[in-house]
Amino acid sequence: MRRLAPDHVAGLVAPLLTRRTEGPAYARLADALRQAVTDGRLPAGSRLPSERELTDRVDLSRTTVTRAYAELRAQGYLLTRRGSGSVVQVPEVPGGRVDHLLTPSALHADALDLTCTAPAAPAGTREAYQRALDDLGAYLPGTGYYPGGLPVLRERVAEQFTRRGLATTPEQVIITPGALAGVAIAMRALISRRDRVLVETPTYPNAIATVEGAGARIVAHPIDHLHDDWDVTDLGDALQSSGARAAYLIPDFHNPTGALMDGEQRSRTGRLLRTRGVVPVIDESLVDLPLDGQVMPEPLGRHVPDSITVGSASKSLWGGLRVGWMRVPRARMETMAASRLRLDLGVPVL
């Protein structure tokens, strides 16, 4: 068992303690230690310094450190046995690994789960939920149903689109439980059973299932991911020969290839879609993940005024939020809102 040096642990938590100044000291220390566990800097199976040892390094009282350790034990982050000290562990997910669509039924302790390439919650998520909980009282007198989403969130999403070069008002935004829900809403509104929908190949498997679930027939368009090439000429031929009414496209860090459609291809693709009268559903779930210094092209939706753009906080923040959105042309808003109500009544207020 690896024993973590007191100075090492103190060095990890010191910046986090400095960053958060509100709340009791024991809660701040517990939160700093918990963040270090969840991001892997305090590895599971390692042994923390004793309460007395850490007290001397973090300039807090013994009582404070003892309460912080007790809180971590209660939350499942520490296992303390007489003679073995306090050992770091990652809490078991309540209910276990029950969703076979996203995770295997079981993993060995030394295995990495690559079935879902999604990050853990970032630092500050717990505090964000606490702030939201403090504001929840204002919503409790109402019914709690917001099919379009909370106005404050619709405003933020609209601002984000506008900042990226796609002018958007809050009235054009629908909040959904993830980007995939936005795809489902859009497809049910755009197509009739047996209509053809063009999708890239390869593409996100759940999107194929969603498009087919809306009754569509799939038209595949290969992309050359090694050269980030959508082959716009071939795309035009595929649209003409198939008579596709809609398309599902991932121009930003394409899933699963990672390809990025450049600005010139976006302009040509947009012109082609407009000419053919094809409505694209553009998935921007990964748009917030450029590498350092990487310049992003303008949104594909800017080239197709009739397009539907879906996005999500799952990759940029955390999948557990279950918050996504749709950016909808004004002329289609009523139809999309009606389609949405046939699937669900909105995301949770919190």
Q: What is the pTM for the complete model shown?
A: 0.76
The alpha carbon dihedral of 300, 302, 304, 306 has a sign of positive
329 part of a folded domain: yes
* pLDDT for position 121: 86
**Statement to judge: residues 317 and 228 lie in one domain:** yes
Residues 162 and 76 in one domain: no
The reported pLDDT for the residue numbered 105 is: 47
Same domain, 46 and 182: no
**Pair 83, 149 in one domain:** no
CATH code: domain of residue 236: 3.40.640.10
Q: Which of 88, 123, 156 marks a domain boundary?
A: 88
Q: How far apart (Å, rounded) are the C-alpha atoms in residues 260 and 267? A: 14
Are both 44 and 168 inside the same structural domain? no
Positive or negative, the CA dihedral 46, 111, 71, 21 is positive
Residue-wise pLDDT tens digits, 88-109: 888 776 555 555 556 554 555 5
What confidence tens digit (pLDDT) does each residue in 99-148 have? 555 655 455 556 666 667 777 888 888 889 999 999 999 999 999 999 99
- Same domain flag for 224 and 311: yes
Q: Is residue 275 part of a domain?
A: yes
Average pLDDT of span 208-216: 92
* Claim to verify: residue 58 and residue 181 sit in the same structural domain: no
Residues 71 and 176 in one domain: no
Last residue of a domain, one of 62, 88, 114: 88
CATH code assigned at 57? 1.10.10.10
- In terms of residue numbers, what domain contains 314? 144-341
**Is 225 a domain residue?**
yes
Question: Helices 51-58 & 62-74, crossing angle to 10 degrees?
Answer: 120
Q: How far apart are CA 299 and CA 308, in angstroms?
A: 12
Helix (H) or strand (E) holding 223: none
Is there a domain that residue 245 lies in?
Answer: yes
156, 15: one domain: no
Domain total in the chain: 2
| Domain assignment of residue 158, yes or no | yes
Cα separation, 112 vs 322, whole angstroms: 23
